[in-house]
Amino acid sequence: MVYWVSDDEKTMDIVIAAAGKGTRLQGYTTELPKHIIPVAGRPFIYYLLDAVLAAGFRRVFVVGGHFVDKLTEAIEAYDQPESITVIEQTGQRYGTACPLLAVEAALQGDRFVYTMGDHLLSVEDLQQMQQSTLYPLVAVTEHDEPQRYGVVEYNEDRTLARIVEKPEQPKSHDINVGLYAFTPDIFPILKKLQPSSRGELEITDAINDLAQHHPVRTIRLQHPWMDLGRPEDIAALELFLKNQ
């Protein structure tokens, strides 16, 4: 189902996934969750929180898992900790769908935005997710190395057909940036998910399932997007932040 909302309904909650172990950042994550690795003198997630709060979200939920105590300490030391609620992801399940299952009750049946805590996003791109009138919504951007990411494939009407993770021969240069807007309709699908080939519950599998039954729209980022996934990303992020 596609949802239209009125102007006075556009203030939304946001869920930030910060439960991952950061296995590609070993050496940095032996004692810290990757989301609070220092980048340009601050825990990395602070830059995302700055943008989220400036974008005017109603409530901010950060879902932690790996070293959740240290994540909580970092959030409590942030400039506006009263604006943010940390929720612990428990259990043995793992994957990008799990933070949403952990926060379902707190969302109270409302529409929400979902993103990853190791990403750098602009205020404007976060605002356009709130201002859209169509749900579900997947943010995309063009990338020179799409094979490193989830590649978005389209139907003839430009709705999303599926997201293919790290294909050897990508059919487009549009990648999924891990920024979504959902209604509560996503939760029954999440609860039926089976582990992927990686043994994880993947949000992209839920989106692909949803796309078989309902139109899934995409929205293009208007500003730079970066992620912290590899050690070499730290220097690139610091250079980018220095030039802002």
Q: Within a domain: residue 125?
A: yes
- Provide the pLDDT for residue 28: 75
Q: Within a domain: residue 1?
A: no
Q: Within a domain: residue 2?
A: no
- Is the pLDDT reported for residue 111 higher than 60? yes
Closest CA to 84 of 18, 24, 139, 147: 18
Q: Within a domain: residue 7?
A: no
CA 26 to chain centre: 21
What are the pLDDT digits (tens) for 145-159?
A: 999 999 999 999 999
Q: Within a domain: residue 19?
A: yes
Q: Within a domain: residue 21?
A: yes
Q: What percent of the chain has pLDDT over 70?
A: 95
CATH code at position 95: 3.90.550.10
Closest CA to 126 of 74, 165, 179, 84: 179
Q: Token match 């190395």: residue?
A: 145
Torsion, Cα of 75, 99, 111, 186 (10° steps): 170
Residues spanned by the domain of 127: 12-242
Average pLDDT, integer, range 44-49: 97
Q: Within a domain: residue 3?
A: no
Cα–Cα dist 163/205, whole Å:
8
- Provide the pLDDT for residue 102: 95
- Is the pLDDT reported for residue 29 higher than 80? no
Overall number of domains in the chain: 1
Q: Within a domain: residue 50?
A: yes
pTM attached to this predicted model: 0.93
